[in-house]
Structure 1
Amino acid sequence: MSELLAPTPLPLGNLIDQPADALLGLIALHRADPRPEKLDLGVGVFRDDMQATPVMRAVKAAEAHIASTQASKSYLGAEGDMLYAERLAEVVLGSAIDHERTAGVQTPGGTGALRLGAELLARAHPGATVWIGAPTWPNHAPIFGEAGLRTRSHRFYDIERSRIDFASMLDELDNARPGDVLLLHGCCHNPSGADFSTGEWQAIAALCEARGLIPFVDLAYQGLGDELAEDAAATRRIFEALPTAILAYSCDKNFGLYRDRVGALWIQSANAGVNALVRANMLTLARSLWSMPPDHGAAIVRTILEDEALRTDWETELAGMRARINGLRGALAAAHPRLAPIGDQRGMFAMLPIAPEAVAQLRDQHGIYMAGNGRINIAGLSARTVPVLVAALAPHF
């Protein structure tokens, strides 16, 4: 009888082994490299001229204010800090937001926003396919896939020619069906740095309208390419042109709040009635995913956006970060003809037109570390190291 009542072991041995995270492996290799002149162009964080990732002045000041005035650390609701979401929406969507048709919630980082949006799509339209341009951030497809959605990649960027292949993109999206989702980088494309032109954004909006596609914008680098309004212009255009649109947002980069995981999700619906359903389901899903989002980072952003002096200082420091990135882009573009397109691109990342074998040789022979597809973090460079990188690259062009 005791044998019949014995608990059945959990079948953990049925789990399938998972590939190691390539970026984490790159970090470990760089850390173990004893060469003093080694160069880390892999990790996607902003770095200053001293290769530090400092806490922004406005963030420090906001934290001090919060520490001296915060009366409680009681739970937030599933929607998080709604004043944070409202203030941030003004920065991101501006007058493009229709409050009667748009629901917004705080999320743990941009990744949390993407996953919440994916879960909502899986609940609303489980047969939808998410179309993702290649190349893209490596975590995009897994996020949607783990939510149970199908994903398909479409050609977006010609790596050899370092430019967008818009004709191929439109040709491949001809296979998309009504109700499918089109994932879009709002600005500062990761990993290519190549953004659509105004005309191409207009064509994308027209395509979504004609074929009944839902645009899902991932905006993670606002203000690090061009000024805040310029980097949000494409997203605003999408929200103004289409009845249904989704936006996942991250404050990790433009506020330097990487480890605090600060994001938001906004969903625009066709009418107020659908918006009420969307909001109810967003909150139910958020409750099951993380119950309530962490407060500290969102409180920092809200404090900065509500204080004129802090906001001005944040925008000033952000402009300095942007100028550093764009200055390094210009230096790379001027150093070699094959790197010229980098000067017209935007954001922290660029893709070098080199083969994986060359990436490995740069690491082994020169201590230059980058992702296997040739993606580099522009902010990992300095005026001193740009010539070093270009000299090492020259034999591979």
Structure 2
Amino acid sequence: MIAENVRPAASAPARLFGALERQPADALLGLIGLFRQDPRATKIDLGVGVYRDDAGETPVMQAIKAAEHRLAETQPTKAYLGAEGDARFVDLLAPIVFGAALAGDPGLTGVQTPGGTGALRLAAELVARGAGDPKVWIGTPTWPNHAPIFREAGVTVRPHPFFDAASGTVDFAAMASALAEAAPGDVVLLHGCCHNPTGAELDAAQWSALTALVVERGLIPLIDLAYQGLGRGLEDDASATRSMLAAAPEAIVAYSCDKNFGLYRDRVGALWVKADGGSLAAVRDNILVLARSLWSMPPDHGAATVREILEDATLTSSWRRELEEMRSRIAGLRAALADADARLAPLAHQGGMFAMLPLPRDAIFALRASHGIYMAESGRINIAGLRGETVASFVAAIAPYLQR
């Protein structure tokens, strides 16, 4: 007999994680693992998106080493930063990104973020709070993490054409036609320079036409500027961003220092938003509230290192010189590839570390098996993974498979 004050046992509740489904493995991380396991001395890693020198290393810049030494000797505290991060870092970086005049625009507000990815995620959350139901338009192909970042924030993603694989150039007519369907208040995600994964870039006339379209239709440009200085130089790589921000009443810029300062593992970035004076304070309030919930306060070390460099003319000069050496090496490899095979000629007119090779998917696996050449299944290569001495053998290996 059951006592009156004892309830029958309820059915067992569903376990918290019982509804979770397995997720596909990250293809790039898997490629890294396969490369490491390959014992061949002649193997070539063109997958992971980090700069490498001609010795195949990802070096620490001398300017970074000097700045870190100063920090180790003089940094007075490891206390928390605020949610906005290192404000001095943001202030010093702004003229490099926007130029002296635009950096002082009273309608521009910025915060430090954990890398460019953190800047994009913060931007996505801010967009999700925007008026109406804004959608974000993203060119195809793009960096694989772009769309997931916005979808995880609850923002609808709309693809638009960008790359013409046959010519290795931007299909601007198709891009403009698609964006003509975007609604006022929608966001257009743009690569400021050095497109990842294709290397293809809008020319000056196309940027001008795109800027006019954005302003006319009331769209919000969100510029991902992750490789400034590695394409055509610091100034040229920022020119499109500056022109767009000068014209658009509202805009967003997600910036990464991971590549142009070589601070990959330190995750250094910034987010800037341009808005009119009536909404700017609310924009900043929301940025800080969102940042507080996402990561509380950004890490200090990388941003402090950049700040040390930009506060010192000698270190700034050293950084600029080293960055130009990196840029020149990448440009030289592009030229060498283009000269080696006419079907690779478009690479000479592209910019940055990446390119999409006109290779069928089965060829990519064959090259991996036969030659130890590792690249993404899309045909994207990190050009900086090549060395001067490996260009000829690489082109000889891919030549039988090139489709262009």
- Return the TM-score normalized by structure 2: 0.96
Partners of 1:125 and 1:365 in 2: CA distance: 54
Q: 1:126 to 1:110 in 2, by over 3 A?
A: farther
SS at match of 1:14: coil
Partners of 2:396 and 2:186 in 1: CA distance: 45
Q: In the alignment, is residue 49 of structure 1 matched against residue 64 of structure 2? A: no
> Would the aligned equivalents of 1:126 and 1:148 in 2 still touch at CA under 8 Å?
no
How far residue 210 of structure 1 moved from its aligned partner, in angstroms, is 1.1
> Would the aligned equivalents of 2:169 and 2:201 in 1 still touch at CA under 8 Å?
no
The aligned residue for residue 93 of structure 2 is 88
Which structure has the greater CA radius of gyration?
2
How far residue 184 of structure 1 moved from its aligned partner, in angstroms, is 0.2
Q: 1:348 to 1:9 in 2, by over 3 A?
A: same
Amino acid aligned to 1:170: A
SS at match of 1:61: helix
Partners of 2:389 and 2:111 in 1: CA distance: 43
Aligned counterpart for 1:139 among listed residues 128, 142, 145: 145
Q: In the alignment, is residue 196 of structure 1 matched against residue 196 of structure 2? A: no
SS at match of 1:60: helix
Amino acid aligned to 1:38: K
> Would the aligned equivalents of 1:126 and 1:149 in 2 still touch at CA under 8 Å?
no
The aligned residue for residue 18 of structure 1 is 23
How far residue 4 of structure 1 moved from its aligned partner, in angstroms, is 5.4
Deviations 1:264-317 (A, max 9, x none): 000000x22211010000000000000000000000001100100000000000
> Would the aligned equivalents of 1:100 and 1:275 in 2 still touch at CA under 8 Å?
no
SS at match of 1:384: helix
Aligned counterpart for 1:328 among listed residues 326, 333, 336: 333
SS at match of 2:129: helix
SS at match of 2:60: coil
Partners of 1:132 and 1:239 in 2: CA distance: 18
Partners of 1:124 and 1:154 in 2: CA distance: 22
Q: In the alignment, is residue 29 of structure 1 matched against residue 53 of structure 2? A: no
Amino acid aligned to 1:124: G
Q: How do residues 149-228 of structure 1 correspond to structure 2 at under 5 angstroms?
A: 149-228=155-234
Gaps of 5+ in 2: 1-5
Aligned counterpart for 1:264 among listed residues 249, 270, 293: 270
Amino acid aligned to 1:281: N
Partners of 1:135 and 1:369 in 2: CA distance: 20
The aligned residue for residue 289 of structure 2 is 284
SS at match of 1:175: coil
The aligned residue for residue 69 of structure 1 is 74
> Would the aligned equivalents of 1:350 and 1:375 in 2 still touch at CA under 8 Å?
yes
Amino acid aligned to 1:203: A
Deviations 1:209-236 (A, max 9, x none): 1111100000000000112111100000
Q: Say which is worse superposed, 154-163 or 311-320, in terms of deviation.
A: 154-163
The aligned residue for residue 247 of structure 1 is 253
Q: In the alignment, is residue 346 of structure 1 matched against residue 351 of structure 2? A: yes
How far residue 9 of structure 1 moved from its aligned partner, in angstroms, is 5.6
> Would the aligned equivalents of 2:31 and 2:374 in 1 still touch at CA under 8 Å?
yes
Deviations 1:38-57 (A, max 9, x none): 11000100001100001000
Q: 1:145 to 1:35 in 2, by over 3 A?
A: same
The aligned residue for residue 365 of structure 2 is 360
Partners of 1:256 and 1:241 in 2: CA distance: 32
Aligned residue pairs, count: 396
> Would the aligned equivalents of 1:97 and 1:239 in 2 still touch at CA under 8 Å?
no
The aligned residue for residue 122 of structure 1 is 128
Deviations 1:308-329 (A, max 9, x none): 0000000000010011000000
Partners of 2:132 and 2:38 in 1: CA distance: 46
Q: 1:295 to 1:126 in 2, by over 3 A?
A: farther
Partners of 2:215 and 2:261 in 1: CA distance: 34
Q: CA RMSD in A?
A: 1.4
Partners of 2:20 and 2:220 in 1: CA distance: 34
Partners of 1:3 and 1:335 in 2: CA distance: 79
Identity between Structure 1 and Structure 2 (%): 59
> Would the aligned equivalents of 2:251 and 2:273 in 1 still touch at CA under 8 Å?
yes
Q: In the alignment, is residue 386 of structure 1 matched against residue 391 of structure 2? A: yes
The aligned residue for residue 315 of structure 2 is 310
How far residue 186 of structure 1 moved from its aligned partner, in angstroms, is 0.2
How far residue 160 of structure 1 moved from its aligned partner, in angstroms, is 2.3
Partners of 1:194 and 1:96 in 2: CA distance: 26
Partners of 2:38 and 2:166 in 1: CA distance: 30
Deviations 1:53-93 (A, max 9, x none): 01000000000001111111000000000000000011101
Gaps of 5+ in 1: none
How far residue 195 of structure 1 moved from its aligned partner, in angstroms, is 1.0
> Would the aligned equivalents of 1:193 and 1:345 in 2 still touch at CA under 8 Å?
yes
Aligned counterpart for 1:234 among listed residues 240, 245, 248: 240
Partners of 1:262 and 1:11 in 2: CA distance: 35
Partners of 1:296 and 1:43 in 2: CA distance: 24
Q: 1:103 to 1:376 in 2, by over 3 A?
A: same
Deviations 1:318-343 (A, max 9, x none): 01001100000000010001100101
Amino acid aligned to 1:204: L
Amino acid aligned to 2:23: Q
Q: 1:254 to 1:2 in 2, by over 3 A?
A: farther
Deviations 1:92-151 (A, max 9, x none): 011223532111000000000000000000011361111100110000000000000010
SS at match of 1:347: coil
Amino acid aligned to 1:185: H
